[in-house]
Structure 1
Amino acid sequence: MAVSSKKKKIALKAVFSLAFIYVLFSFVQGNQLLLMFQRINWFYLSLSLLLTPVMIAVSCCKWMMILNAGQNNVPFLTLFRIYLIGYFFSNMLPSTVGGDVVRSYYTGKIIQDQSYSAIAIFIERFSGIFFLFLLVLFAPLVKPSLYLSPFVFVPVIASLILTLSTLWMAKVKKPFVFADVIVASGLKVFRKTMVLFGRKDPQVFIGTIEDHYKAFIQRLEKLHLKVVQAFETIFKDKILFLKLTFVTALFYLLTWVNVSLALLAFGVNHQFSDICALVPTILFVAHFPVTILGNLGFFESVFVFYLLLVDIPGNGSLAMGLLLRMKMLLIGIVGFYVYLVYKHATGDDAKQLGAVDEKKHLSSDVKKESPENDSC
């Protein structure tokens, strides 16, 4: 992608961020929001802030387990520091160099294996995203009436399709053969139709379609190889599988507690079961990369919208969302400081990070940043 195209993409996302922020503050009256902050409960606020490093530590534990599975021992505190640097890149910079690329690069330098470093990041992300798919499917069972809402039902169907597609990609050696046949047949019919209607040379247009399709399939093939490798790594060691499952489940439990504490900090009464039922769907929707800086504006808007389904007022959920955003900023600031003092943070590294980003396209393969970076 050309540099100018990347800048246009960032600019468009910035416009979307401003639009969502405008809609949010139009929806909630400023004086109501101010009252929420004036009566903040410092006990619950303190618990919410203290929970943040715990959630990061849990994510780093899972990352360390995967690295150790490949006989790559990296000290926990080193991973913690690199995680904070990655958080800074993901949520504080309007950059195309994502936090995963940064983490992969620095860890690869330590273990002297950029390839395994990249797959370790992918497995960490993949396990979190796949677990989220399952939660989106089954968490609303806590409050079954939510399935009747199209705003819950549609993400459930999308998660079901993504879950089955992932399992299919992991089990089938050549998952795109059928798609190749369908596309080839479709283009053949299209060519004959165009000729029938007097277009004697449709090859240029059809060639463009074929080129785009081949590029798309190549990216899917790379993703397929990573998914297969992830499944093989996770399931070849039952102990590792159980550990990863436990740590991932613990992270999402802490995510539920995190949202609940943030609501209680502003005196918003709610049922914890409602949080358990809706937060997976919220995270699934809120992390589609449509705005900049950790989905600024869109992230908060999705929380406000979905929590209205369980009668949590908009001013309360917006205050909660702003608290989560404030914690993201605090982590990002700490990450920036760590980046400045980290021994590998040099100008040459900045150039290398760009090269790694172009080469690997980690964030493009995973499609979006996992909630394990952005819901602290």
Structure 2
Amino acid sequence: MTEHSSELSQHSCEEVSSQKMIDRNLSSYFFPALKSLLGLGIIVFIFSNIPLSQVIATFQNLTLSWVLFLVLISIVLVYVSVLKWQILLSTQGIRERISHLYGLYLAGYFFNLVFPSFIGGDALRSWHLGRNQGQRKTAVATFLERYSGLFSMLMLGVVFVFCTDTMRQSEKITVVLLFLGFVIGTVVLYSKALVRGLTLIPKVGSMVAKQGALFQEALRVSTSCPRDVLVVIGLSFLFHMLAVVNVLACAHSIGWTQAPVAELFIVVPVILIISALPVTPQALGIQEGAFIYYLCLLGATPAEALGVALIIRAKAYLLGILGGLYLLLSARQIHKQVA
């Protein structure tokens, strides 16, 4: 009787385990597919409301010289980010050629073509470098790079809130609230007691604990190398100024020459934060919708706003393709060395 009960219990456990595995497999396929369908649905909705002929008409102003200039801006933007990353890695005792880091950064764009948000590329380029240099060190450097970028981006937005009277109060309040949220998040991560308390929350707890540990380590690095961190913050401000120049150049390239600069410093941070949400693969549809909403507030037509969004997406895809080529060439080089 006992043996029979034991067999039934074992069989029941195996059934439960199998069911959990099936549920996990379904979730791993279902949610990515759902996100992709959502992104495609938003794109279809956008193009059903903005005539394709109007969008094509905006691109008639795009010349080869503009294309080359826009690509150059992307190259410089990536270079500034890589320079930040290199400095922060050096504070961890990691010395890497900037050409290699540049390639890995482009590889991050390639990973972002597959993963649901900009976070995927960051994690994977950090992991790739950390295989030889130490995962903890590269994770801290990557965390600090993104943290300093978020700080400078929101700080610039708040500064320009007070530099314009034409922007709606709701958009100004949004930027200020985002900055306050950033400050509150910083306070939470700074407090070990608060982090320990939040770790008790199911599902969210492990993520908070990981980010809290990274923040504490990043804080230690910052206090030990304050000059390097100040240089990184300065580069972060430069990067986000160039990010606004990037949007401004995209606007001018398709004929929207009246784009207001001060207002762009307010809305671009909001657009970038919305685009980083892991809702659809590489914010497909989400990013376009954000550009249309906010740029139309600044005086762009829907077709012009969509044109800007499409150019920025095309540039991200170009960087991703270059990143994929870098990974392919690196793999071939390693294969030749082994052979």
TM-score bracket for this pair, using the shorter chain length: 0.7 to 0.9
Query: 1:142 matched to which residue of 2?
Result: 163
* Residue-pair matches, total: 312
1:1-376 superposed matches below 5 A: 2-92=24-114, 98-111=120-133, 113-146=134-167, 148-149=169-170, 151-170=171-190, 172-176=191-195, 213-269=201-257, 270-292=259-281, 294-343=282-331
- Deviation, 1:8, is 1.5
- In the TM superposition, what whole-angstrom CA distance separates every residue of 1:279-317 from its partner, at most 9, and x where no partner exists? 11221222212111x211111110110011111111111
Structure number with higher relative contact order (C-alpha < 8 Å, ≥ 6 residues apart): 1
Residues 256 and 179 (structure 1), Cα distance of their counterparts in 2 relative to 1, 3 Å cut: closer
- In the TM superposition, what whole-angstrom CA distance separates every residue of 1:45-94 from its partner, at most 9, and x where no partner exists? 32111111111111110110011111110111111111111210112566
Residues 274 and 94 (structure 1), Cα distance of their counterparts in 2 relative to 1, 3 Å cut: closer
Identity of aligned residues (%): 26
Q: Distance in 1 between matches of 2:206 and 2:295?
A: 39
Moved more, 311-320 or 19-28: 19-28
- Deviation, 1:268, is 0.5
Residues 163 and 233 (structure 1), Cα distance of their counterparts in 2 relative to 1, 3 Å cut: same
Residue identity opposite 2:316 in structure 1: M
Residues 64 and 74, structure 1, Cα contact 8 Å, conserved in 2: yes
Residue identity opposite 1:273 in structure 2: A
- Deviation, 1:219, is 2.5
Residue identity opposite 1:107 in structure 2: L
Q: Distance in 1 between matches of 2:174 and 2:164?
A: 16
Question: Which consecutive segments of 4 or more residues in structure 1 shift more than 4 A?
Answer: 92-97, 176-180, 344-347
- In the TM superposition, what whole-angstrom CA distance separates every residue of 1:300-354 from its partner, at most 9, and x where no partner exists? 110110011111111111111111111111111111111111138989xxxxxxx
Residues 142 and 277, structure 1, Cα contact 8 Å, conserved in 2: no
Residue identity opposite 2:159 in structure 1: F
Alpha-carbon RMSD: 2.6
Q: Residue 98 of structure 1: SS of its match in structure 2? A: helix
- In the TM superposition, what whole-angstrom CA distance separates every residue of 1:121-166 from its partner, at most 9, and x where no partner exists? 22212222233333443332232453512x5524532431232221
Moved more, 38-47 or 52-61: 38-47
Query: 2:13 matched to which residue of 1?
Result: none
Residues 250 and 312, structure 2, Cα contact 8 Å, conserved in 1: yes
- In the TM superposition, what whole-angstrom CA distance separates every residue of 1:103-129 from its partner, at most 9, and x where no partner exists? 122212342x12212222222122222
Query: 2:15 matched to which residue of 1?
Result: none
Q: Distance in 2 between matches of 1:215 and 1:29?
A: 43
Q: Residue 193 of structure 2: SS of its match in structure 1? A: coil
Residues 133 and 160, structure 1, Cα contact 8 Å, conserved in 2: no
Residues 141 and 277, structure 1, Cα contact 8 Å, conserved in 2: no
TM-score (ref. length: structure 1): 0.76
Residue identity opposite 2:125 in structure 1: R
TM-score (ref. length: structure 2): 0.84
Query: 1:183 matched to which residue of 2?
Result: none
Q: Distance in 1 between matches of 2:242 and 2:184?
A: 27
- Deviation, 1:97, is 9.5
Q: Residue 175 of structure 1: SS of its match in structure 2? A: helix
Q: Distance in 2 between matches of 1:339 and 1:49?
A: 20
- Deviation, 1:266, is 0.4
Residues 86 and 102, structure 1, Cα contact 8 Å, conserved in 2: yes
Query: 1:187 matched to which residue of 2?
Result: none
- Deviation, 1:234, is 2.1
Q: Distance in 1 between matches of 2:227 and 2:293?
A: 40
Structure 2 stretches lacking a partner, 5+ long: 1-22
Q: Distance in 2 between matches of 1:308 and 1:30?
A: 17
Residues 285 and 302, structure 1, Cα contact 8 Å, conserved in 2: yes
- In the TM superposition, what whole-angstrom CA distance separates every residue of 1:188-217 from its partner, at most 9, and x where no partner exists? xxxxxxxxxxxxxxxxxxxxxx8xx24422
Q: Residue 142 of structure 1: SS of its match in structure 2? A: coil
